[in-house]
Amino acid sequence: MSDRVGPVSYRIMVVATCLAGPACARAGIAAPTPAAALCAAGDTALVRDLVYFGRNRPDGGTVSDAEWLGFLDSVVTPNFPDGFTVVEGTGQWKARSGAVERERSAIITFLHTGSAADRDRVAQVAREYKRRFHQEAVLRERSPACARFE
């Protein structure tokens, strides 16, 4: 078997890698958006972003319920006035320091067209949360979705 990769094989590898996710962002390649052909008749092909917001603060405090609601009202709602879903949870992750953090979390689901403007609005929400509440990171998960109101 040859160690050489031809142009067609390379393109297949790039697409397969992009379907795997994070490699696309590092390579500067946009992940494929869902094709309408993959959705059932009557469905709308969309992108689903799940964004995970930890509620611990680096100083040992927490983002209060009032601060969280203020963030929803002043940042999230203006960016996604048509709607979004918030789910409360408990998360765990390893910080840069190596410490394991366990914290109350909020997960927001955004369904959008996948346009550059929509992706930028999701990124803006995450950046503002990091800035406002001095967070080390906000996790963002993206996947294709088929949706409809029944």
First to last CA, the chain: 52
Pair 40, 52 in one domain:
yes
Pair 90, 140 in one domain:
yes
pTM of the model: 0.74
Taking only the tens place, the pLDDT of each residue in 96-109 is 889 898 999 999 99
Pair 105, 75 in one domain:
yes
DSSP conformation class of 74: I
Its domain, for residue 19, covers 1-32
Max CA separation in the chain (angstroms): 62
Taking only the tens place, the pLDDT of each residue in 128-141 is 999 999 999 999 99
- Strands (E) in the chain, as ranges, are 44-54, 85-94, 100-112, 139-147
